């Protein structure tokens, strides 16, 4: 399905607009984790890869304040604060997440733009 | 197991994960070396204040700078299992030198579960510590009111902080007439005192608004041109009761003659501002005073200098002689240096083996001379550890406020850069910021034991 389009679906390069336009099915077959946050950082998107890495099903995440419930280790100046401070954001950082309480080195891509309501965190192990 | 049973188990596991993800206390499981096996997000969030993500592999390494004693506590804990420490306070100071304003205090509980298994719980207790300090100060103050029938001077201030009335005792204590004081701010009573930092009047009032009161001690003027040690309590007079949201009506300040440093709050302050290992001032205190002295120096056009200093080859001391010898080195060094500086200077431990000296009213040349005294003294001091007598040296970098460096972070960065030069041009020497010149060449030490490698 994805192969038939010309859109770029790679962790490093997928565009925010393309990411925001994906269907749930399309997001779920991506090899990296996708977390989409709405106003007040409410979790609106939590794809299958992210769910598998974190050990939590989307139903238990969606609708909750992400940085208070699941992603507390990103609730700091390195991640959450950047969404507050930088309206236009597309950056990749090395990070450590506690996936299933195991400190796990990951790469995070933070994406935000004034033209799109939802901001995204992509995670790659 | 039935399919239903398996689903139930998975469900319970997921609920448990979700519970631990959201737990607002940092939890870690460590092996005996401190390697982090399991950690919840809050633990990571708290530790990320002190180290970059790639440094988050060993708990004791992360804590090496802020609380090197944690490793020693665990190493020295003999029972097979039990509580190693409970709510041990880690005065983390600002997360970085660039965030001088915010001091963090963590409470750390360590439990030994077996020969190679430890649990750690971490809690940010900065707010409780600040509350505790205020309560203790207030308690000390109020008990002194009851115990003592000294004369109290009472000053009324309006909402803008201007004096609107003063009782007779004010005139007796300060020698000022009512006319001198009306319309003035609280600092009119203060004596010039280069040796201690004063909170500006607006900050005293802001603290009183925040906490309900503000307590401070310092030199105040007497009528005959002398000075006396004064404790001052500033309280807020609330606005009209029927409209609680309305602005405050004003402030009341009570001034009381006291014996310097006899008061409980002085002892308490000592405890809260001292590095427990070395007896030097702690990092939080250093930044608090440095920021204030910097503003004052700029305002009055006075010089202000800092010296950053660092123990040469400290890693080698720890590796070769053990952490207790390292601790002894830091203690001996801090005691030796503290004896050499003036009362107005602040000698503080700002990192593991890193110290800083704040020198108010001191230019760069004088700072360099002080630095050389410290260097020579440390080089000549013997350190008696349990299993060896050691000698060590320090490298020092000096910087002073100038047109380029007009705030504390810049000043410290300049001193740090000079310290770096001192390290890289051979150690055991003083380098002054913004010059290529090493002012004072090192003296060779005949039996320098610690010359192999390391920091």
For position A4, what pLDDT does the model report? Answer: 47
pLDDT in tens, B296-311: 888 778 899 999 999 9
Residue of chain B whose alpha carbon sits nearest to that of A108: B53
pTM, 2 dp: 0.55
Residues of B in contact with A121 (CB under 8 A): none
Residue B445 clears pLDDT 50, i.e. is over it: no
What is the fold of B129-266? Beta-Lactamase (3.30.450)
Residues of B in contact with A100 (CB under 8 A): 17
Residues of A in contact with B14 (CB under 8 A): 55-57, 60
For position B412, what pLDDT does the model report? Answer: 92
What is the fold of B274-453? Alpha-Beta Plaits (3.30.70)
**Separation in Å, CA of B17 to nearest CA in chain A:** 7
Residues of A in contact with B56 (CB under 8 A): 96, 103
Query: Residue B139 — pLDDT band, cuts 50, 70, 90?
Result: low
For position B287, what pLDDT does the model report? Answer: 86
For position A13, what pLDDT does the model report? Answer: 94
For position B450, what pLDDT does the model report? Answer: 35
Residues of B in contact with A75 (CB under 8 A): 45
Pick the CATH number of B3-124 from 3.40.190.10, 3.30.450.20, 3.90.550.10, 3.50.50.60: 3.30.450.20
Query: Residue B174 — pLDDT band, cuts 50, 70, 90?
Result: confident
For position B163, what pLDDT does the model report? Answer: 92
pLDDT in tens, B352-369: 899 999 999 999 999 999
* CB nearest A75 (choices: B20, B45, B54): B45
pLDDT in tens, B382-427: 998 877 889 999 999 999 998 888 888 889 999 999 999 999 999 9
Residue A14 clears pLDDT 80, i.e. is over it: yes
**Separation in Å, CA of B47 to nearest CA in chain A:** 9
pLDDT (average), residues A9-31: 95
Query: Residue B155 — pLDDT band, cuts 50, 70, 90?
Result: confident
Name residues whose C-beta falls within 8 Å of residue A75's C-beta, 6 or more positions apart in sequence.
A67, A68, B45
- Percent of chain B whose predicted confidence (pLDDT) is above 90: 36
Lowest-confidence range among B90-94, B140-144, B203-207, B336-340?
A: B140-144
Residue A3 clears pLDDT 50, i.e. is over it: no
Same fold, B3-124 and B129-266: yes
* C-alpha to C-alpha distances, B379 to A10, B395, B398, nearest whole angstrom: 59, 10, 18
B138 or A19: which leads in pLDDT: A19
Residue B451 clears pLDDT 80, i.e. is over it: no
Q: Which residues of B touch A (CB under 8 A)?
A: 13-15, 17-18, 20-22, 24, 36-45, 48-49, 53-54, 56-57
Cβ <8 Å between B22 and A75? no
* CB nearest A100 (choices: B17, B49, B54): B17
Lowest-confidence range among A23-32, B139-148, B253-262, B387-396?
A: B139-148
Give the domain ranges of chain B: 3-124, 129-266, 274-453
Cβ <8 Å between A60 and B18? yes
pLDDT (average), residues A65-83: 93
Residue A114 clears pLDDT 90, i.e. is over it: yes
pLDDT in tens, B271-295: 677 887 898 998 878 988 898 888 8
pLDDT in tens, B20-53: 999 999 999 999 999 999 999 999 999 988 888 8
For position A41, what pLDDT does the model report? Answer: 95
For position B247, what pLDDT does the model report? Answer: 65
Q: Three-class SS string for chain B?
A: CCHHHHHHHHHHHHHHHHHHHHCCCEEEEECCCCEEEEECHHHHHHHCCCCCHHHCCEHHHHHCCCCCHHHHHHHCCCCCCEEEEEEEEEEEECCCHHHCCCCEEEEEEEEEEECCEEEEEEEECHHHHHHHHHHHHHHHHHHHHHHCCCCEEEEEEECCCCEEEECHHHHHHHCCCHHHHCCCCHHHHECCCCCCCCCCHHHHHHHHHHHCEEEEEEEEECCCCCEEEEEEEEEEECCCCCCCCCCCCEEEEEEEECCCCCCHHHHHHHHHHECCCCCCECHHHHHHHHHHHHHHHHHHCCCEEEEEEEECCHHHHHHHHCHHHHHHHHHHHHHHHHHHCCCCCEEEECCCCEEEEEEECCCHHHHHHHHHHHHHHHHCCEEECCCCEEECCEEEEEEECCCCCCCHHHHHHHHHHHHHHHHHCCCCCEEECCCCCEEECCCCCCCCCCCCCCC
pLDDT (average), residues B162-167: 87
**Separation in Å, CA of A121 to nearest CA in chain B:** 16
pLDDT (average), residues B240-260: 69
For position B143, what pLDDT does the model report? Answer: 61
Residues of B in contact with A106 (CB under 8 A): none
For position B369, what pLDDT does the model report? Answer: 95
């Amino acid at each position: 399905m994805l192969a038939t389009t010309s859109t770029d679906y790679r962790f490093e390069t997928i565009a925010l607009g393309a990411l925001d336009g994906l269907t749930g099915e399309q997001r779920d077959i991506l090899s990296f984790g996708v977390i989409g946050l709405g106003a007040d950082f409410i979790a609106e998107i939590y794809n299958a890869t992210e769910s598998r890495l974190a050990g939590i099903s989307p139903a238990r995440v969606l609708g909750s304040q992400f940085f208070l419930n699941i992603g507390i280790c990103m609730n700091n100046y390195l991640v959450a604060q950047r969404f507050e401070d930088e309206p236009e954001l597309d950056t990749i950082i090395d990070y450590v997440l506690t996936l299933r309480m195991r400190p796990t080195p990951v790469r995070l891509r933070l994406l935000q733009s004034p033209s799109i309501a939802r901001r995204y965190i992509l995670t790659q192990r | 197991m039935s399919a239903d049973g398996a689903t139930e188990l998975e469900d319970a596991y997921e609920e448990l994960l979700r519970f631990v993800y959201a737990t607002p206390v940092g939890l870690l499981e460590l092996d005996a070396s401190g390697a982090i096996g399991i950690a919840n997000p809050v633990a990571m969030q708290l530790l990320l204040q002190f180290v970059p993500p790639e440094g988050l592999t060993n708990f004791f390494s992360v804590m090496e700078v802020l609380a090197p004693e944690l490793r020693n506590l665990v190493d020295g804990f003999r029972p097979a299992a039990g509580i190693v420490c409970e709510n041990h306070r880690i005065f983390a100071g600002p997360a970085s030198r660039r965030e001088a304003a915010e001091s963090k205090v963590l409470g750390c509980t360590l439990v030994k579960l077996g020969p190679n298994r430890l649990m750690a719980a971490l809690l940010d207790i900065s707010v409780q510590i600040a509350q505790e300090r205020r309560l203790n100060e207030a308690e000390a103050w109020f008990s002194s009111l009851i115990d003592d029938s000294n004369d109290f001077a009472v000053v009324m201030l309006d909402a803008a902080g201007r004096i609107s009335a003063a009782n007779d005792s004010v005139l007796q204590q300060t020698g000022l007439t009512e006319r001198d004081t009306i319309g003035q701010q609280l600092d009119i009573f203060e004596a010039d005192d280069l040796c201690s930092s004063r909170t500006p009047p607006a900050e005293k009032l802001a603290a009183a608004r925040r906490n309900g009161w503000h307590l401070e001690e310092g030199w105040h003027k007497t009528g005959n041109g002398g000075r006396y040690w004064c404790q001052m309590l500033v309280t807020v007079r609330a606005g009209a009761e029927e409209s609680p949201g309305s602005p405050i009506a004003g402030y009341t300040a009570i001034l009381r003659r006291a014996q310097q440093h006899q008061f409980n709050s002085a002892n308490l302050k000592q405890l809260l501002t001292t590095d427990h290992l070395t007896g030097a001032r702690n990092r939080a205190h250093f930044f608090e005073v440095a920021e204030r002295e910097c503003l004052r120096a700029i305002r009055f056009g006075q010089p202000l200098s800092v010296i950053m200093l660092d123990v040469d080859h400290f890693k080698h001391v720890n590796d070769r002689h053990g952490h207790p010898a390292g601790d002894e080195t830091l203690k001996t060094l801090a005691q030796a240096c503290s004896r050499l500086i003036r009362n107005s200077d602040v000698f503080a431990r700002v990192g593991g083996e890193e110290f800083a000296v704040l020198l108010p009213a001191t230019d760069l040349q004088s700072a360099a001379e002080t630095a050389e005294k410290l260097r020579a003294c440390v080089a000549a001091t013997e350190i008696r550890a349990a299993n060896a007598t050691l000698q060590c040296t320090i490298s020092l970098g000096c910087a002073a406020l100038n047109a380029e460096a007009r705030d504390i972070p810049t000043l410290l960065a300049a001193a740090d850069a000079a310290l770096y030069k001192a390290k890289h041009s051979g150690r055991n020497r003083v380098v002054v910021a913004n010059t290529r010149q090493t002012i004072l060449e090192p003296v060779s030490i005949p039996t320098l034991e610690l010359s192999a490698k390391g920091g």
